Amino acid sequence: MQPLLSASPLVQIHAFAALAALGLGAWQLSRPKYGLSHRVRGWLWVGLMAVVALSAFGIRTHGGFSWIHLLAIFVLVQLPVAVLHMRRGRVRAHRNAMVGLFVGALVIAGAFTLLPGRIMHQLVFGG
């Protein structure tokens, strides 16, 4: 845990929120999709994803913005769109948006954090 604990507080917030969203999202996707508990977990997940996306803007490698910041904008746009789908009864569109955010913004983008030279690479693989 030392590489992450040595990072800036903003990077720590970003990483812990992303890891929490990954775990909660996986659990949410494996559970029944109805009721208050689904809604509560869903709102918690939306909040975590917002923290991940917003904190990304304060993390800049090589002095500027990168493609990952475009993903953060996309997440901040898609989160309310996905919620709005559900509020309007468009269950399939809601599900597709949420699964897309989970896979794209957490699983695929998260895999890039495992590249050499990144904090998560050091954390997972050592060195």
What does the pLDDT read at residue 95?
96
Domain span including residue 35: 2-125
Q: Which of 34, 39, 15 is nearest to 110 (CA)?
A: 15
What does the pLDDT read at residue 59?
87
With bands split at pLDDT 50, 70 and 90, how would you rate the model's confidence at 84? very high
Tell me what the pLDDT averaged over the chain comes to: 92
Q: Which of 51, 67, 65, 44 is nearest to 16 (CA)?
A: 51
Rounded to two decimals, the pTM is 0.91
User: How many domains does the chain fold into?
Assistant: 1
Give 62-71's long-range contacts (Cβ < 8 A, gap of 24+).
Answer: 68/109, 68/112, 71/104, 71/105, 71/109
